[in-house]
């Protein structure tokens, strides 16, 4: 285990530790340092309200020693939408030597976050990479208008895009959002390589449409603006014994 860090070093350089986790090495309790949790609220009569999770944690472990854990991978499981105050998050963190799985969230909106931590890793047990074919078909129809693309040809392009994306590695994707109905499905735009191949396919398939600008618009939009790729990963927690 790395050397514990003195509390004074952490509290005097809090900005360096924003987002990191403090683990008390005496009683294993964990707290994530977050700027947002340090804002104090004041009631109408000016009284300070103790909403500062950090102060509460440091008060409870005043004479103990701490180690700093940082997020060590992009593995993540969410219980609710990320913006939801009740969202419980599961991440991998590390002290530089040992990996841990930390889970944190609130049981009530106004209660402090609660944490659990176990030595272990999050293993991907299922990964799917798909596209939203309906959205792709609509993007093609709109971009080629007033040319009317035959439905069977659009379906052919959608299928070829589906095949291209199925051959992508997850690390080619750069997720920008999560699916509203399932926060564990990430949304991403097409990788540049796939957008380029799709553009060539569109040009061949709809050679009679004379809408070169339309092909460019489709490839550009799908590469930077319209996230048609859905990346879903399910994890298992492997605890170290
Ligand atoms: Zn402690």
What's 120's DSSP letter? E
User: Residue 51, CB half-sphere, CA atoms under 13 Å: how many?
Assistant: 15
What's the gap in Å between 31 CA and the centre of ligand 1? 11
State the pLDDT at residue 209: 82
Q: Are strands 89-94 and 30-32 parallel, antiparallel or unpaired?
A: unpaired
What's the gap in Å between 72 CA and the centre of ligand 1? 23
What's the gap in Å between 5 CA and the centre of ligand 1? 13
What's the gap in Å between 30 CA and the centre of ligand 1? 9
C-alpha dist (Å) from residue 169 to 53, 166, 188, 191: 39, 8, 13, 10
- Positions of the chain with pLDDT lower than 70, given as ranges: 1, 36-52
State the pLDDT at residue 121: 98
What's the gap in Å between 121 CA and the centre of ligand 1? 24
State the pLDDT at residue 105: 94
Question: Could you state, in order of their start, the residue ranges of all structural domains in the chain?
Answer: 5-122, 132-236
């Amino acid at each position: 285990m790395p050397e514990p860090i003195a509390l004074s070093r952490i509290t005097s350089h809090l900005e360096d530790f924003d987002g990191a986790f403090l683990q008390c090495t005496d009683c294993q309790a964990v707290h994530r340092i977050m700027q947002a949790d340090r804002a104090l609220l004041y009631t109408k009569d000016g009284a300070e309200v103790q909403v500062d999770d950090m102060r509460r944690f440091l008060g409870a472990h005043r004479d103990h020693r701490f180690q700093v854990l940082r997020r060590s991978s992009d593995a993540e499981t969410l219980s609710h939408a990320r913006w939801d105050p009740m969202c419980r998050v599961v991440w991998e963190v590390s002290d530089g030597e040992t990996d841990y799985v930390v889970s944190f969230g609130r049981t009530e909106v106004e209660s402090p976050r609660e944490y659990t931590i176990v030595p272990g890793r999050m293993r991907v047990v299922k990964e799917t990479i798909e596209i939203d074919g309906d959205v792709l078909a609509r993007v093609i129809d709109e971009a080629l208008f007033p040319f009317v693309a035959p439905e069977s040809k659009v379906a052919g392009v959608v299928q070829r895009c589906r095949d291209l994306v199925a051959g992508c590695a997850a690390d080619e994707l750069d997720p920008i959002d999560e699916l509203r109905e399932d926060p564990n499905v990430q949304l991403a735009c097409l990788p540049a390589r796939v957008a380029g191949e799709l553009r060539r396919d569109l040009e061949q398939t709809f050679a009679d449409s004379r809408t070169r600008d339309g092909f460019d618009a489709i490839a550009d939009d799908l590469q930077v603006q319209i996230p048609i790729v859905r990346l879903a990963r399910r994890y298992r927690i492997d605890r170290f014994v």
